[in-house]
């Protein structure tokens, strides 16, 4: 285990902006900042001074292509390093970056384009910077200027030319970036994030993680995700520790690349959503583990979606022999509205499980301890105590604080909390109670630890991605043959995958099995092409199956229960 000194907190504690925090760092400029690794390619190593110079060149290039200080700029690009240089360059010149997901081979280009156009309008972006291929398709079809990436590269000043630091000076409460989110077109819940919010968050988070000078972060999470951007890029830079970056697409197809980051490049911290633990357990090949030790890792931290204790147990079983122990597994609970995290375990503390009575949890909303071996025990995993500077309360339906071990909605008050969704304060107005924010997540507190057990929001979290079932129901309803309004989409918790899988039930008139199979194919294809999601279960039925509420709405809870009971009956 490491014995190196803690990082220097002065830049995080005393800087006004992210830029200043980087500049204030007393870390040797010749030390390593980023190692970018990719399957089939040589690693690219970047020192802190190289990063600083390149980011300044990007800042100058962004000015040269017509972006002004204060402009909100949407950036969508598949290359992780170009994306991060664009982000930092835009910060340097005083623009406000917002990183958006990129299309892939499955998503329909027309749909992606419509989403981007709607987002640009919603967030009032003044420019889109993207790949040349997309820029060409987008030209004149969206309500702001589009810049292809080769124009940015052509505008980069010579590497050897001395590029002056831009003269723009941001203030702590200026917007640093806008965090985009999933969500229905026109209802994007984007989080305007200020410099102060990020610095307050990082100062608390780095202390809770106990980041040391010889730590190395590994990150494959996408930069359009708050975890990928802040934990996997900004935090290492401002804490003065190196990061090994990977492309999320590469990692999904070749999960062992994360272990190269550990084995070859000495990574000690890795934060990822729950499903990633299962992905590694199930889809790393034996050959890729030959000669590997994971004993140098201080923490694999599970954040971003519901945490399953079975995911940790599977991880320990497969990778325990390589050096993973219970005290090197961490858990975090967070939300972009609070910049990133709200609770986080302490590095080095062993995992804490809480076995509670399932019946009392469901019927009385009480987390009553039982023997973990009890047949009706539910094992919840502690997300740790709230971060320093974050207060957490559990509230009932009437907004009254609840005592320990009573389940209610998680409310937070914090120095890194946002003040409302970007240009859509109407969507967040109902969620504030004075300084408190209602998260929509359900949980309880016990011995100062936070446990999450569910959520109020009608939402599926699949592979760390937030999905609104109504969006998918709308897509399925447009498929010819599907009875209008007779569609139900819901999430099915799956322990093997460690995430919620997507199930679709649709009613059609035909009883012909071939017609049903064809409609099933169309449902999968449509959801993939329009949302880039994979549906795990499709039931196309001719009988009346779907349960509606008395007001005629599809009851997702009732349909899910019926579906699960049906599966259980089939064995």
Partner 1 sequence: MLDSAELKNQLRTFICRELIRNPNYPLRDDEPLVTGGLIDSFAIAQIGVFVEKAFKVYVPDTELTVDNMDSVEKMAACVLASAQKGR
> Which residues contact partner 1 (rule: CB under 8 A)?
39-40, 105-106, 249, 252-257, 279, 282-287, 463, 517, 521, 524-529, 534-537
CA distance 119 to 137: 17
Query: Least CB distance from residue 538 to partner 1, whole Å?
Result: 8
Query: Least CB distance from residue 515 to partner 1, whole Å?
Result: 13
The neighbouring-strand residues paired with 178 are 192
CB 266 within 8 A of CB 215: no
Between CA 447 and CA 374, with CA 454 as vertex, the angle to 5 degrees is 65
CA distance 2 to 17: 30
Could you please report the per-residue DSSP string of 296-325? T-SEEEE-SSPPPHHHHHHHHHHHGGGT--
Query: Least CB distance from residue 275 to partner 1, whole Å?
Result: 8
| C-beta of 65 vs 249, nearer to partner 1 | 249
The 44-47 sheet, strands edge to edge: 44-47, 32-36, 243-245, 217-219, 269-272, 299-302, 329-334, 341-344
Q: What interhelical angle do 80-92 and 48-64 show, nearest 10?
A: 70
Query: Least CB distance from residue 468 to partner 1, whole Å?
Result: 19
| C-beta of 32 vs 535, nearer to partner 1 | 535
Q: Calculate the CA 207 to chain-centre distance.
A: 21
CA distance 322 to 325: 9
Burial 485-507 (b: 16+ CB within 10 A, else e): ebbbbbbbebeebbbbbbbbbbb
Q: Taking phi first (over 0 means left), then psi (-120 to 50 degrees means alpha), and beta for anything else, what does residue 96 get?
A: beta
| C-beta of 104 vs 171, nearer to partner 1 | 104
| Token pair belonging to 533 | 């999601």
| C-beta of 106 vs 168, nearer to partner 1 | 106
| C-beta of 68 vs 283, nearer to partner 1 | 283
| C-beta of 322 vs 377, nearer to partner 1 | 322
Query: Least CB distance from residue 106 to partner 1, whole Å?
Result: 6
Query: Least CB distance from residue 25 to partner 1, whole Å?
Result: 35
CB 289 within 8 A of CB 322: yes
Q: Which of 339, 454, 328 has its CA nearest to residue 390?
A: 339
| C-beta of 280 vs 438, nearer to partner 1 | 280
Q: Which of 26, 18, 98 has its CA nearest to residue 55?
A: 18
| C-beta of 483 vs 525, nearer to partner 1 | 525
Query: Least CB distance from residue 14 to partner 1, whole Å?
Result: 43
Spell out the residues 6+ positions from residue 95 whose beta carbon is closer than 8 angstroms to its own: 62, 67, 68, 69, 70, 71, 72, 73
| C-beta of 395 vs 525, nearer to partner 1 | 525
């Amino acid at each position: 285990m490491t014995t190196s000194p803690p990082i220097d907190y002065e830049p995080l504690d005393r800087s006004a902006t992210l830029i200043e925090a980087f500049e204030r760092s007393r870390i040797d400029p010749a030390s390593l900042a980023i190692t970018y690794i990719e399957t089939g390619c040589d690693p690219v190593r970047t020192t802190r001074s190289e990063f600083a110079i390149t980011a300044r060149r990007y800042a100058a290039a962004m000015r040269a292509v017509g972006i002004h200080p204060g402009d909100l700029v949407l950036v969508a690009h598949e290359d992780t390093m170009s994306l991060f240089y664009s982000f930092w360059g835009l910060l340097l010149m005083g623009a406000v970056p917002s990183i958006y997901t990129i299309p892939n081979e499955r998503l329909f280009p027309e749909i992606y384009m419509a989403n981007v156009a709607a987002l640009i309008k919603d967030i009032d972006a003044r420019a889109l910077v993207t790949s040349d291929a997309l820029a060409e398709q987008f030209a004149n079809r969206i309500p702001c200027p589009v810049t292809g990436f080769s124009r940015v590269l052509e505008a980069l000043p010579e590497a050897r030319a001395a590029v002056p630091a831009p003269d723009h000076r941001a203030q702590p409460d200026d917007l640093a970036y806008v965090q985009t989110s999933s969500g229905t077109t026109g209802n994007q819940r984007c989080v305007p994030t200020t410099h102060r919010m990020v610095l307050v968050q990082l100062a608390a988070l780095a202390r809770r993680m106990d980041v040391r000078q010889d730590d190395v972060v590994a990150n494959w999470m996408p930069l359009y995700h708050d975890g990928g951007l802040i934990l996997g890029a900004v935090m290492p830079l401002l804490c003065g520790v190196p990061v090994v970056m990977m492309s999320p697409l590469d990692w999904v197809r070749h999960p062992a690349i994360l272990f190269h980051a550990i084995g070859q490049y000495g990574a000690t911290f890795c934060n990822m959503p729950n499903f990633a633990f299962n992905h590694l357990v199930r889809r790393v090949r034996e050959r890729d583990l030959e000669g590997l030790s994971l004993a140098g890792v201080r923490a694999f931290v599970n954040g971003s979606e519901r945490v399953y204790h079975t995911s940790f147990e599977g991880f320990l079983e497969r990778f325990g022999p390589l050096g993973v122990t219970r005290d090197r597994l961490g858990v975090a609970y967070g939300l972009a509205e609070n910049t990133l995290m709200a609770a986080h375990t302490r590095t080095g503390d062993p995992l804490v499980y809480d076995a509670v009575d399932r019946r009392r949890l469901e019927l009385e909303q009480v987390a009553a301890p039982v023997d973990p071996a009890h047949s009706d025990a539910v094992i919840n995993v502690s997300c740790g105590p709230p971060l320093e500077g974050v207060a957490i309360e559990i509230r009932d339906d009437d907004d009254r604080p609840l005592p320990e071990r009573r389940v209610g909605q998680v409310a937070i008050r914090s120095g890194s909390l946002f003040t409302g969704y970007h240009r859509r304060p109407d969507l967040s107005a109902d969620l504030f109670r004075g300084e408190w924010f209602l998260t929509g997540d359900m949980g309880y507190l016990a011995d100062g630890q936070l446990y999450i057990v569910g959520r109020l929001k009608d939402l599926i979290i699949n592979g760390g991605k937030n999905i609104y079932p109504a969006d998918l129901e709308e897509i399925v309803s447009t498929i010819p043959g599907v009875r209008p309004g007779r569609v139900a989409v819901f999430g099915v918790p799956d322990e093997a995958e460690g995430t919620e899988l997507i199930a679709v039930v649709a009613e059609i008139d035909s009883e012909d099995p071939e017609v049903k199979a064809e409609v099933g194919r169309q449902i999968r294809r449509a959801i993939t092409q329009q949302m880039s999601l994979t549906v795990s279960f499709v039931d196309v039925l001719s009988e009346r199956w779907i349960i509606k509420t008395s007001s005629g709405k599809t009851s997702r809870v009732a349909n899910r229960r019926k579906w699960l009971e049906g599966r259980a009956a089939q064995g």
